[in-house]
């Protein structure tokens, strides 16, 4: 009986990190998606501002 309890306890310790890992991976993937979305938005805004600046001719004061 004590061997079974020891084996079960050992399995719980070994299996616990495996059960936690997918949650962490999902959280990490979600963060990466949010970062990518933010980067896309920032790049789009930069491109728009470049287009606007390129469309407006600069007048020189001289």
pLDDT of residue 3: 47
pLDDT tens string, the chain, 62 residues long: the values are 444 444 444 455 555 555 566 777 888 888 999 999 999 999 999 988 888 877 655 555 55
User: Token digits for 56?
Assistant: 């407006």
Would you list the domain boundaries of the chain?
1-53
Alpha carbon 5 to chain centroid distance?
A: 40
pLDDT of residue 31: 92
pLDDT of residue 60: 55
pTM: 0.47
What are φ and ψ of residue 61, in 5° steps?
Answer: -80, -15
């Amino acid at each position: 009986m004590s061997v079974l309890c020891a084996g079960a306890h050992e399995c719980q310790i070994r299996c616990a990190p495996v059960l936690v890992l997918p949650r962490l991976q999902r959280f990490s993937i979600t963060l990466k998606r949010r970062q990518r979305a933010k980067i896309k938005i920032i790049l789009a805004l930069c491109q728009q501002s470049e287009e606007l600046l390129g469309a407006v001719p600069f007048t020189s004061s001289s």
